[in-house]
Structure 1
């Protein structure tokens, strides 16, 4: 038994070593790079033909020499099939294969001598084949015959023929057109997401987002259905792919024009709108014939091919030229969206025009390639434009919200002022008369009294005067109209104000600096103007600390007179600053009624001006008053 187990063990080791060494030998033998075959021959099949069943091995006449990447031989009229003869060089590949990246045909048969090794037949108009044909090691030095048949104007091998290891060539075979499928799938996914999101946009942007999603989706479908990868590995879906390609192309053109129209308008004389309507009508006409051709089994194929390929290609060129011209016009007007659109669409349109022109010059012997990458640039520009529109819309909404908030605050303030005005007007007149009578009697009593009694009467009179002052403020707020309006020389008014308040300023340890331009004139009532400025300056004086300074500055800018009153006092917090001018709100004073600034606001408002405050806690406060500039008495103005 032990001998048997030892024998089995040795046998397994030998087999394992043989397999390993064999794999090394195979890899060593198969380590040759793939080679290119640059020369072959073609022969037209005239007459009815035999369907490629008889290989012309012994025939040596009528063969045409063909060079790789050179211009393909022009197919004679009435010919629909051809033979291609490729002489295989000697090789040392363990699993040899022939790879042809592009061969134009609808029906293909591949022979090695008389042995059929591949056959493909397409029942749809897509003549771009990609072939990877495995060979036998015994095919070394033999000849490959390829029979091709088509209904179109091009036939035969377009590029080099590669001969090499199957494991290496299959990578190129799989990658051929795979990037187009990946790119198209990404486009379709982005279009689906954008289409769903478009339902959450307002009505203004819904058509733009929807048309953009159609453009992106159509581009994705075109990329997938134009790729040779689809027809190579999913040939059973070839008819559906051709159908979807036509539908995507016929949807893309009017959707693109509609998107352009929504962004930039119908153009001069409505040319963009008219062209879009023509495209929609023509695309609908082509779609009807597409359905008819599909249902009839391809009986109207030639007519449909003419209207959907030749004429649509011309319409695309006209569309690109038209839109490029409009984009240039809009760009010259410095429209930012037009500039972005020009960069993206200009790239796509110029690429499309050049490729289509080259396609027609080559009589169809050219596969459009660069268009999809140009469309990537174009779609990115469209997304940027849509993003800019949405950002602008968001900014407008935010701005509108801020303005609405300011309007609501102003409305509340106006309502408060209206209520207080009515109360002040009704109460002040009723209270003022009894106060004046009471003050008169108290003054008579004070003249006949002496000592402690007279002191008390003086205190009562001062409180009555204070009450009368508050009532006067009420009346000023309730009726800020001026009984007498005159030209006010700002410099003279502030000189008078300075003479009144300078002692109070010195008493509080501060100083006052006056910088007033000459020949500044405003219209108003002198006493009311002084009252408004005094109220502001008094607040500044009361906020000063040691070595405080109040800076009074006045100058003109345009048709406005700017008056700045700035102090380096205690300052205010933002919450306090926002409430200045509200009734009965006192900023930093414990005994204030809040009527001073309220009256000031009403006086400046009645003078058709405005007042603003800037302040920072611990850094002081600055008031900025803007009043309409008036002409001086000599007819001049500052």
Structure 2
């Protein structure tokens, strides 16, 4: 079976190679390459009654030799029609045809000798024809006559005519301008999607999205209606296409200025806004002229062509120069949107101005081509700017939402602290007095007791002392203001704290290392300062287990004093870390959660900040930041 499969595979490959070689040999025998016709003759029609019905005799009138290389012959004054004579070369094509990519005229008649093979008459101002004229085998060596008539300043063949097989030439004939239609359709689709999405944006970004969608849609309409494809294959829509071409241009210019105004502002002396108002008014004037000219049957076509083409061209040049000047000014100031806009608009403006200048230099004998691709770059830059604005706005919203969440958490914490503070202030003093009286009587009874009674009384005294400590914490939290404020030397305070906590640390199998720089001074109450850090260090000692190390580090940076208390104990997970400082929250079985709450309140009263960093199994570190105070007189500090 495998041998049969391989045999069939080899046979199929051999058959395909044979067929390919045969087709190549056949095409080599029967196919002839296309030829360019670069020379022809032209005769101006001075007789107004010559409507192209009778082909002129070869020796009738003066024929001027011209062609594609020297360029188009200038149209004389008072002349609006011409005959073009092309001598067809000898050919051996099976289905011959002549392809003329660009022919300027409004009315065209094509003859082979005296036989008419093509005629078209346009009632609208679009003089760009693309012709594919089929021939017969009998037309070998004959003469082609083309009668052209126009109302504009250009007429005749622009580029070399091509003679060849119809099947070869028809591909170029169909492709001529097709890419412009595809590109324009894509622009219009993107504009519609962008405009619909704009309704989901805020007002500021909606104006940008709406004006950008108008710019993109107008560019798409210009690309479609300027393409010769529409007028070649849909000539019945030609008049409507010309109207949409003008509407696209007249809406593009003010929309572009309005978009620029929305992104960068009105400019100095509101020049951008005033220029946009002028453009809008002039565009409305041109639309009014278009309506009048259309309703009058093109009676005012020359005036309308002047205001909607010639004058608009100069306005575009002024607009490009104005916007480029402002973009350069904004770019120098470091505006990123301006830099992106400068790249895109600079490309489009430079291309557009160059083509417009070349159009006027050539007296209108030039079809604008590169502008649409430059506009692609420009539109991409505008989309990038809008995307940056939306992304920046999204980041701002996220930032505000996070800040709002922090503010809400802080507000809830403040409300909790306020409630606890009021409760502590009103109850603590009332509770402490009876506790002290009760403790005094129990202590007297314990001195006269023995055995189990003494043990019970000792436990009662211990719990009363614990209750008194809790009440002290309440009072400290309720009234964190310091009765005596002085300038504290952090190094001296930590030496005292170390001497107090070192026995407890050794008792739990740990050791303490203190690194406190000299010349570190803070404002506060010595007793409260010690209480705050004793609470932190005590928690670190209790987390060490059998052994471990506690580092106490203090140093100054700028106008701040940083104090780190770091241990290598059991650590905490993120959930526990987030709840530190909440009242009544504690990891310890006998803890009340008030110690760290008091610590937070003391540090806060000293205009400082404190936060904790911890990882389960890797220890905990507290970082306290306090304002650096000036050294007291006589301290010897620099």
For the criterion TM > 0.5, the same-fold answer is yes
Q: For the residues of structure 1 that align with 2:479 and 2:158, how far apart are their CA atoms?
A: 95
Contact 1:194 1:209 in 2 (8 A): yes
Does structure 1 retain, via aligned residues, the 8 Å contact 2:194–2:213?
yes
Corresponding residue SS for 1:103 = strand
Q: Which residue of 2 aligns with 1:433?
A: 433
2:498 aligned with 1:501: no
SS in 1 for 2:481: coil
Q: Deviations over 1:556-591 (max 9, x none)?
A: 1222111111111111111000000001000x3111
Corresponding residue SS for 2:633? coil
Alignment partner, residue 633 of structure 2: 634
For residue 284 of structure 1, report the CA deviation from its aligned partner. Answer: 1.0
Q: Give how far 1:487 is off.
A: 0.5
Which deviates further from its counterpart, 392-401 or 574-583? 392-401
Shift of 1:49: 3.6
Q: Distance in 2 between matches of 1:452 and 1:110?
A: 132
2:103 corresponds to 1:100: no
Matched residue SS, 1:575: helix
- Report if aligned partners of 1:96, 1:163 keep a CA contact under 8 Å in 2: yes
How far residue 451 of structure 1 moved from its aligned partner, in angstroms, is: 5.6
Q: Which residue of 2 aligns with 1:471?
A: 471
Query: Residues 29 and 94 of structure 1 are in contact (CA less than 8 Å); yes or no, is this contact kept in structure 2?
Result: no
The alpha carbon displacement at 1:489 in A equals 0.6
1:186 aligns with 2:186: yes
Between the two proteins, the alignment pairs up a number of residues equal to 615
Tell me if the contact between 1:83 and 1:147 (Cα under 8 Å) persists in the aligned partners.
yes
Contact 1:30 1:165 in 2 (8 A): no
Q: Deviation per CA, 1:107-147: give whole Å up to 9, x if none.
A: 01111111111111000000000000001110100111111
CA deviations 1:310-340 (Å, max 9, x no partner) are 1110000000011111111111111111111
Q: Determine the structure 2 residue equivalent to 1:211.
A: 211
Q: How far is 1:105 from its partner?
A: 0.3
Q: Please tell me whether the aligned partners of residues 566 and 623 of structure 1 are also in contact (alpha carbons under 8 angstroms).
A: yes
CA distance in 1, matches of 2:80, 2:26: 43
Contact 1:87–1:142 at 8 Å: present in 2 too? yes
Describe the SS at the equivalent of 1:584: coil
- In the TM superposition, what whole-angstrom CA distance separates every residue of 1:183-240 from its partner, at most 9, and x where no partner exists? 0000000001111111111112110000000000000000000000000000000000
Q: Contact 1:57–1:113 (CA<8 Å) still a contact in 2?
A: no
Match of 1:549 in 2: 549
Change (3 A) 1:637 1:283: farther
SS of the aligned residue for 2:204 comes to coil
| Partner residue in 2 for 1:611 | 610
Note if contact 1:521-1:637 (Cα within 8 Å) is conserved in structure 2: no
Note closer, same or farther for the CA distance 1:482–1:449 as it changes in structure 2 (3 Å cut). same
Give distance in 2, aligned partners of 1:50 and 1:194: 53
Counterpart CA distance in 2 for 1:409 and 1:61 is 97
Moved more, 69-78 or 347-356: 69-78
Aligned twin of 2:382: 382
Q: Which residue of 1 aligns with 2:598?
A: 599
Shift of 1:24: 11
2: CA distance, partners of 1:69 / 1:371: 25
**Whole-angstrom CA distance in 2 between matches of 1:375 and 1:584:** 67
1:448 shift after superposition: 4.6
Question: Residues of 2 paired with 1:28 and 1:543: CA distance?
Answer: 93
Q: How does 1:220-259 map to 2 (within 5 A)?
A: 220-259=220-259
C-alpha distance in structure 2 between counterparts of 1:26 and 1:228, whole Å: 36
Distance in 1 between residues matched to 2:210 and 2:289, nearest whole Å: 26
Q: Structure 2: which 5+ residue stretches go unaligned?
A: 1-22
Deviation at 1:70, TM superposition (A): 2.9
Q: Deviations over 1:246-270 (max 9, x none)?
A: 0010000000000011011111111
> Would the aligned equivalents of 1:212 and 1:382 in 2 still touch at CA under 8 Å?
yes
**Aligned-partner Cα distance in 1 for 2:454–2:617:** 45
Mean Cα deviation higher: 514-523 or 226-235: 514-523
Which string of whole-angstrom CA distances, capped at 9 and with x for unpartnered residues, describes residues 486-536 of structure 1?
Answer: 101111111110111011111111111111111011101110011000101
TM-score (norm 2): 0.94
Q: Give the Å deviation of 1:30.
A: 4.5
Write the distance in 1 (CA, Å) between the matches of 2:67 and 2:453: 132
Alignment-derived partner of residue 583 in structure 1: 583
Residue 4 of structure 1 corresponds to which residue in structure 2? Answer: none
Matched with 2:127 is 127
Whole-angstrom distance in 2 between the partners of 1:559 and 1:64: 92
SS at the partner of 1:322?
helix
- Structure 1 range deviating more: 508-517 or 208-217: 508-517
Q: Do the aligned partners of 2:508 and 2:547 also contact (CA within 8 Å) in 1?
A: no
| Structure 1 CA distance for aligned equivalents of residues 44 and 637 of structure 2 | 98
Alignment of 1:18-57 (within 5 A): 30-57=30-57
Equivalent position of 1:359 in the other structure: 359
What is the 5 A alignment of 1:61-72? 61-72=61-72
Work out the CA distance in 2 between the residues paired with 1:615 and 1:238.
76
Worse-superposed segment, 541-550 or 351-360: 541-550
Give the match for residue 268 of structure 1.
268
* Distance change >3 Å, CA 69–CA 552, structure 1 → 2: farther
1:446 Cα deviation from its structure 2 partner: 3.9
Alignment-derived partner of residue 91 in structure 2:
91
Is the Cα–Cα contact under 8 Å of residues 74 and 154 in structure 1 kept in the other structure? yes
Q: CA deviation at 1:347?
A: 0.3
Cα distance in 2 between the residues matched to 1:145 and 1:364: 25
Q: Residues 341-490 of structure 1: matches in 2 within 5 Å?
A: 341-449=341-449, 453-490=453-490
Q: What secondary structure is seen at the aligned counterpart in 1 of 2:221?
A: helix
Residue 24 to residue 494, structure 1, CA distance change in 2 (3 Å): closer
- Alpha-carbon shift at residue 637 of structure 1 (Å): 7.8
DSSP-derived class of the 2:542 partner: helix
Deviations 1:6-25 (A, max 9, x none): xxxxxxxxxxxxxxxxx999
Asked whether the 8 Å contact 1:29–1:93 carries over to 2, the reply is no
Matches of 1:456 and 1:387, distance apart in 2? 76
Counterpart for residue 9 of structure 1 = none
Give SS of 1:57's match: coil
Secondary structure of 2:203's counterpart equals coil
Gapped regions of structure 1 (runs ≥ 5): 1-22
Contact kept in structure 2, 1:520 and 1:637, CA below 8 Å:
no
Cα distance in 2 for residues equivalent to 1:341 and 1:284: 27
Change in CA separation of 1:24 and 1:513 when aligned onto 2, cut-off 3 Å: closer
Distance apart, 1:456 and its partner CA: 4.0
1:298 offset after TM fit, Å? 1.0
1:316 maps to: 316
Q: Residue 453 of structure 1: CA displacement?
A: 4.3
2:283 equivalent in structure 1: 283
Aligned equivalent of 1:14: none
Q: Secondary structure at the match of 1:162?
A: strand
Shift of 1:27: 5.7
Return structure 1 stretches of 4+ with deviation > 6 angstroms: 23-26, 635-638
